[in-house]
Homo-oligomer: A and B are copies of this chain.
Amino acid sequence: MPFEPGDLVVLIDRRGGRHLLRLTEGKERIGKVGVVDTGSLIGQEDGTVIHIGSASLTALSPTVLDKVAAIHRKAQIILPRDAALIALHADVKAGDHVVEGGAGSGALSIVLLHLLRPGGRLVTYEVRADHAQVAQSNVERAGLCDNHEIHIGNIASDIAETDVDSTILDVPEPWEAVPACHEALAPGGRFVSYSPTIGQVEKTHEALKGYEMADIRTFEVLERELVVGKRGTRPSFEMLGHTGYITAARKLA
Binding site for B on A (CB under 8 A): 1, 44-49, 58, 60-61, 63-65, 80-81, 84-85, 87-89, 91, 93-95, 111, 114-115, 117-118, 186-188, 190, 196-202, 205, 214, 217-226, 228, 231-243, 245, 250-253
Contact = CB atoms under 8 A, between A and B. Distances in A.
A91 B117 contact: no
Q: State the majority secondary structure of interface residues on A.
A: mixed
A178 B42 CA distance: 30
A225 B217 contact: yes
A215 to B, nearest CB: 8
Nearest to A95: B118
B233 A224 contact: no
Contacts of A1: 186
A199 to B, nearest CB: 4
Nearest to A232: B197
B60 A88 contact: no
A201 B1 CA distance: 31
B242 A202 contact: no
B241 A224 contact: yes
Contact of A220 (B47, B87, B199, B226): B226
B197 A233 contact: yes
A221 B45 contact: no
